[in-house]
Amino acid sequence: MDQTILFAALLAAPAAGSIASLVPKDGVEVVASVTSSAASVLVSVCLFVLGAAGAYGPFYSDGLTKIMIITISSVFFTSVVYSSFYVKRIKEPLVRFRWYYALLDLFAFTMLLAVTVNDLGFVWIAVEATTVTSALLVALERERTSIEAAWRYTLIVSAGLVSSLLSVIFVYFSQGTLLISSLTSEPIRAGLLMPLAVGFALVGYGTKAGIAPMHAWLPDAHSEAPSPVSAMFSGILLPTSIYALVRTFDLLQGTASFEAMRYLLIGFGVFTAVLAAVIMGHQRNYKRMLAYSSMENMGIVLVGFSLGGIGAIGAAIQIVAHAFAKSSAFYEAGNILVAFGSKSMAEVQGVAARLKFSGYLFALSCLAVTGAPPFGVFVGEFMIISQAMSVGNVALVLLLAAVYIYGFIGLNRQSVLMIFGQGGTALGVSEEQPSQAQERLGENWVSVAVPLANLIVALAIGVYLSPTLFLAVQALGH
């Protein structure tokens, strides 16, 4: 089958879901969004299995593209399903729920467009459009803090992304085209503008990916957005921005400035990971803590892509594994928030005693995102540090090892205190009404099955799927 049709179908599904969600009839939005996201997963699996690298009409595909589409569509699907549990608990939403689902579908559409289109100009447009579609989602709960977070997110990210527009202009001025297939197949004309283009892309896309010191929006938006949206931000929006940065950076391969820019990107990646690992363990809000963990992971992923070789493949595997594990953690954070009514770790303690499954799943998800073996994140991190060893960069190996260990201890110590500790002050629903149904306590079959399924996939990536992903990325080229 011509892959152009499959790519078109991949984009048409969320677009159709978005339109159908606006039908003014109760329940239609959930059915439309679940159906369209499931269709996206199906098409992305077809593309992953059947596809070969190359340009197909307006689309471009290689190993990284395939990894990205399957990750985006999967987390989109699970977030839509989890939303059916979570959002109806929001008392005064900023927009009607049908608009929430329509925007969620459009958000996924823009991310899928960003990673499939064969034009750096359209990549920029799509990444910018993710801000337009997600700004209102952050403010959905209509609280002072969520509106403040939405403003900060939109302004900082937009201001940053205008820098990456300069990057696109520089690429066009120096190369005469923005087509990724042409830029990757023909020799790049060297000059000062290309490294400058990568520098501006680092500032612009780096802002959206949460790369320090441009990350100021990230902890706010992740902690204040509804949990399904936080899961999409952390699991797939940040990697989409990393994808756009990596596409620009890869153009430098074979030029004299490649090594210098490689070390610049590694420097920013390490700085982000170190900063996040240090701050993470001192957070008082568990959703902010997860947000800093995402920053740490994106810093490590950027290091992996910059190192190249097995490090880049490790970074791709880490993107997939982190997306599943972190979305699971955010869904469970949503369950905990529903049950306890607080995001403060001081107030939320002894979760395992009150919630039958979510506490244990949260603890396991925290282990998964911090690279505990045998979860997939561990495999990705191991491959990245292996590449650093193979190029003989001892300082980088030591720094990465320190980040892994410090981040692991910081996050898991906090999560264990939350799940098994005693002395929390949040009343929660359970103390007010001990006899309430489990659903009111933040758990029903959807709210448990969705994070559990994602956690199982994160585990399966580590145990079974890493070789498959490795071969897919390697065979299709990146």
Nearer to other proteins, 178 or 448 (CB): 178
Q: Hey, what amino acid is at 285?
A: N
Among the listed ranges 279-287, 306-314, 370-378, 397-405, the one in contact with other proteins (CB under 8 A) is 279-287
297 binds other proteins (CB under 8 A): no
The amino acid at 214:
M
Between the CA atoms of 179, 184, 188 and 192, what dihedral angle is there, to the nearest 10 degrees? Answer: 70
Beta-strand pair 59-61/54-56: antiparallel
Choose one: 23-31, 152-160, 327-335, 393-401; the region binding other proteins (CB under 8 A): 152-160
Residue from 80, 114, 149, 302 in contact with other proteins (CB under 8 A): 149
CB within 8 Å of 310: residues ≥ 6 apart:
383, 386, 387, 390
Please tell me the distance from the alpha carbon of residue 171 to that of residue 438, in angstroms, as a whole number: 56
Hey, is 450 helix, strand or coil? Answer: helix
Distance, CA of 20 to chain centre: 26
Which residues from 82-111 bind other proteins, rule CB under 8 A?
94
Residue 173 in the binding site for other proteins (CB under 8 A): yes
Interface with other proteins (CB under 8 A), residue from 39, 47, 178, 384? 178
Number of residues that bind other proteins (CB under 8 A): 51
Query: 459 Cβ partners below 8 Å, 6+ apart?
Result: 368, 374, 375, 376
In the list 37, 40, 240, 285, the residue contacting other proteins (rule: CB under 8 A) is 285
Considering the rule CB under 8 A, would residue 124 count as an interface residue with other proteins? yes
237 neighbors 265 (Cβ within 8 angstroms): no
155 binding other proteins? (CB under 8 A): yes
Q: Least distance in Å: CB of 167 to other proteins? A: 10
* Interface with other proteins (CB under 8 A), residue from 166, 188, 190, 446: 166
The one among 88, 89, 189, 284 contacting other proteins by CB under 8 A = 284
> Which residues does 69 contact at the CB level (< 8 Å), separation at least 6?
10, 44, 47, 48, 112, 115, 116
CA–CA dist 368, 326 (Å, integer) = 8
Closest CA relative to residue 227, chosen from 152, 138, 295: 138
CB 85 to other proteins: min, Å: 25
Helix axes 28-50, 3-21, angle to 10 degrees: 170
Which amino acid does the sequence have at 409?
I
Residue 11 interacts with other proteins (CB under 8 A): yes or no: no
To other proteins, the closest distance from the beta carbon of 454 in angstroms equals: 27
Question: Which among 287, 280, 144 has a CA at the least distance from the CA of 226?
Answer: 287
Helix (H) or strand (E) holding 54: strand 54-56
Neighbouring C-alpha atoms within 13 Å toward the C-beta of 141: 24
Beta bridge partners, 179, equal: 119
Distance CA 451, CA 329 (A): 7
Does residue 172 touch other proteins according to CB under 8 A? yes
Residue type, 65: T
d(C-alpha 194, C-alpha 285), whole Å: 41
Check binding of 132 to other proteins (CB under 8 A). Answer: yes
Stretch that binds other proteins, among 62-70, 167-175, 356-364, 421-429 (CB under 8 A): 167-175
Choose which of 104, 113, 136, 246 interacts with other proteins (CB under 8 A): 136
- Rg value, the chain, Cα: 21
In the structure encoding, which two tokens stand for residue 35, read together? 């159906």
Q: By CB under 8 A, is residue 158 in contact with other proteins?
A: yes
Which residue of 75, 108, 135, 198 would you call a contact of other proteins, by CB under 8 A?
Answer: 135
Is 260 an interacting residue with respect to other proteins (CB under 8 A)? no
Smallest gap, in angstroms, from Cβ of residue 4 to other proteins?
20
The yes or no reply on residue 125 touching other proteins (CB under 8 A) is yes
Q: How far is the CB of 6 from other proteins (least distance, A)?
A: 25
Write out the binding residues for other proteins, residues 185-224 only, by CB under 8 A. Answer: 191-193, 196, 219-220, 223-224
Question: Toward other proteins, which CB reaches closer, 125 or 372?
Answer: 125
- Among 131, 248, 342, 370, indicate the residue that binds other proteins (CB under 8 A): 131
Q: Which residues bind other proteins (CB under 8 A)?
A: 94, 119, 121-122, 124-125, 128-129, 131-132, 135-136, 139, 142-145, 147-152, 154-155, 158-159, 162-163, 165-166, 168-170, 172-174, 178, 191-193, 196, 219-220, 223-224, 279, 283-285, 288
